[in-house]
Chains A and B, each alone.
Chain A
Amino acid sequence: MSPPSMMGPRDRGAVQMPRLLGRAALAAVILAYTVYTIGPFLWLATMSVRTTEEISRDHYAWPKTFHWEQFHQAWVGSNFATYFWNSALVVVAAVMVVTLVGAAAAHALARYRFRGNRLVYAVLFSSIVFPPQITLISLYQILVGYNLYNSLFGLTLVYISLQLPLTVYLLEGFFSRIPQDLFDAAKIDGYGDIEIFFRIVLPIGMPAISTALILNFIQLWNEFLFAVVLITDPEKRTLPIGIRSFMGENFQDIGMIAAGVMISVVPVILAYIFFSEKLIRGMTAGAVK
C-alpha cells in the first residue's frame, strides 16, 4: 500500500524550505497524536506494575521494580479471576450462538426468494437504531419474572439479542455476493438446503463469519449497561462491572485498579496484535460504503 504523494515532483529548490517545514509540521502532528492515543494506555501499564504507595509518590515515574505480584493479588485476592471467567463464559457462549443463528438468518435472506424477505431484513436491521433503554426496563422485569435475573444465562440471552441485528447485517451483505452457480451445482449434486448451509455457506463465508465473531466478541466483552442492570450478585459480575465496583470500594488504590484494568484489556490487546486488520475491518464494516 503506497499512497501517491500529495506533492508533485515539480518545482524543487525554490520551495524546498517551506516544503521541509510542512513535512516537519506533519511529523509533529502525527507524533503528538500518537502520544495522545497511546500515552494514556502506556501510563496505565506502568501503574499496573507499581504499588499504590510508589504511585502516590510520583505518578509518572518509570517502575523501578516490576511488581508483577499485583496481578496475582488482583486475580486471586480481589476476585478478578471470577469476573474474568464470568465474562469469558457469557461472551463466548453468546458470540457462538448469535453468530450461528445470525448466519442462518442471513443465509436465508441472502439466498432465497420469498414473500416478505426484505421486510424481515428491515425488521431485524432496524433495531440497530433503538436506544437500549427501550428494552432495558422491560427486559429487567421479564428476566425477574422468569427467574433469570442475576443469572449469567439470562445475561447471555440478552447479549445474543443485542448483537443479532449487526450480525445479520454483516453476514447478509457477504453471503449475497457468493455466486449462485455454486448453489446450483450443489443442488445438482444432490445436496439438501440445510446441508448446503453447513457444508458450503459456512466454510466459504469464513472470512465474514470470523469478522462477525471478533466484532461481537469485542462489543460484548466491553458491554456495561445491561450487565450493571441485570447482575447484582458479586459472584456473577462480569469484568466491566467488576472493575467499576472495585473502583467504587477502593477509590484510592490506584495500583490495584490499574492491574485489574490491565487484566480486562489483555485479551482485547492480544486479539488486536494478531488480528489488527480483521478487527479494524470488523469494527468499521457498517460504515465503509
Chain B
Amino acid sequence: MKEASLPIVQESSGPAGKNPVGPEMDPRRASWPVLAFFLVPALAIYFGLTAYPAFKTFIDSFFLIEGRETSFVGFAHYRELMHDGTFWVAVRNTMIWSFIAPILDVATGLLLALALYAGVPFARFFRVAWFTPVLLSYVVVGILWMWIYNYDWGVLNVALRAVGLEHLASSWLGDPNLALGSVMITHAWKWAGFNMVVCLAAIHSLPSEVLEASELDNCGWGAKLFHIIIPMLRPTLLNLYILAFIGKMKVFDLVWIMTAGGPLWATETVSTYVYKRAFNWNTFDLGYPSAIAAVWFGVVCAAVLILNRAFGTKERLEY
C-alpha cells in the first residue's frame, strides 16, 4: 500500500566494528541497546497483546474449552463448521456486504467530491459537514438509525406516508428481506464522507494541465468523468475499495447494536456469530468460536492479498 520510505536497509556494510569511521560517526547506525530502548516497548506490546493471543486462538481452535477444562479435539471444530448452517449464512451476508457496499461507498464519495470540486460556494463548510458521521461512534449511529427506521414514527416511514406511499412503509429492521440492506445503508451513511475527503484530495492533486486540456477540447462532463478523472484516480479509488472491503469483513458494532444479527439471521455477520458463540450462547465452549475466528482470519488475509494483487498490476498510470 505504501512504498518503503527509507532507502533499502544496508545489509552489506558489515558489522559496525569493521567500519573504518567507527559506529559513532555513522549517524544512521545505532548500538543495540539504543535500538532496544526504542523498539522493545512496541514489540513487547505487539507480541504480548497481538501476536501471542492470535497464535493462542489458532491453538485453541483444536480444543474443546469449557471453563477450566480443555480437551484436544483435533479438527472436529473445523469439520463441524463445514456443516454449520448459521456460519454459512453469516459468511454469505458478510461477503455480500464486503463486495457490494464498497462500490456504493466509493461511488458516493467520488460523486460528492466532484460536486464540491465543481466550485460551489462554501465548499469547505460542506466538506466539514459531510465528514461528521465518520466521527460518530457506531453506538450513536446505530441508535440514531434505529429511530430513523422506527415503524411508527421513524423519519423514513413518516416521509413515505406523507407522500402517499403508505404501502412502502415497512419495518426496516424487522423484515428479514430488508434488514441487511437497511444496516448496509446506515454503514454507508457513516463512511461516505471519508471516501469523499480522500477523493477530493486526489482530484486536487491531479495535474491541472490535463483537466484544462480537456476543457479546451470541449469535453463534456460525462466524458471528462469517465475518460479522464476516473482513470487518473484509479489507484486512489482501488485503495479506497480495499480499505472499505477490510472494514466490512470485520463489521460488528453496528450490526450488534441495531439488530444483533436478527431477524432470523438476516443480518448475521461472521463477527457477530463469533461473538455469540463465544460470549452469548450457553454453549460454554471457546474452542469452536476460535476455529471460526481462525478461518475468518485466513479468509480476510487471503482476500486482501488477492485484491491487492488483482488491483496492483496497473497501479502506476502514465499521465
Residues of A participating in the B interface, judged by any CB pair closer than 8 Å: 1-6, 8, 26-27, 29-30, 33-34, 36-38, 40-41, 43-44, 59-60, 101-102, 104-105, 107-118, 120, 123-124, 127, 129-142, 157-158, 160-161, 164, 168-169, 172-173, 176-177, 180, 183-184, 187, 193-194, 197, 218, 221-222, 224-225, 228-229, 240-241, 243-244, 247, 254, 257, 261, 264-265, 268-269, 272, 276, 279-280, 283-284, 286-289
B264 to chain A, nearest CB (A): 21
Q: Are A222 and B137 in contact (CB under 8 A)?
A: yes
Q: Tell me whether chain B's interface is mostly helix, strand or loop, or mixed.
A: helix
- Rounded to whole angstroms, the CA-CA distance of A142 and B59 in the bound complex is 14
Q: Are A268 and B136 in contact (CB under 8 A)?
A: yes
Task: With CB as the reference atom, state the residue of chain A lying closest to B8.
Answer: A118
Q: Are A138 and B57 in contact (CB under 8 A)?
A: yes
B88 close to A (CB within 8 Å)? no
Q: Are A172 and B5 in contact (CB under 8 A)?
A: yes
Task: With CB as the reference atom, state the residue of chain B lying closest to A101.
Answer: B41
Q: Are B37 and A194 in contact (CB under 8 A)?
A: yes
Task: With CB as the reference atom, state the residue of chain B lying closest to A225.
Answer: B252
Chain B residues positioned under 8 Å from A272 (CB to CB): 128, 132, 135
13 contacts between A and B (CB under 8 A): A1-B124, A30-B120, A33-B130, A107-B38, A112-B29, A114-B35, A129-B246, A142-B53, A187-B24, A224-B253, A225-B252, A244-B139, A247-B143
Q: Are A104 and B246 in contact (CB under 8 A)?
A: no
If A111-B28, A284-B201, A289-B236 touch, does A101 touch B45 (CB 8 Å cutoff)? Answer: yes
Residues of B participating in the A interface, judged by any CB pair closer than 8 Å: 2, 4-6, 9-11, 24, 27-31, 34-35, 37-39, 41-43, 45-46, 48-54, 56-57, 60, 65, 112, 115-120, 123-124, 126-140, 143-145, 147-148, 153, 155, 158, 189, 192-194, 197-198, 201-202, 204, 208, 211-212, 215-216, 218, 221, 224, 235-236, 239-240, 243, 246, 249-250, 252-253, 256-257, 270-271, 274-275, 278-279, 286, 289-290, 292-294, 296-297, 300-301, 304
- Rounded to whole angstroms, the CA-CA distance of A36 and B50 in the bound complex is 39
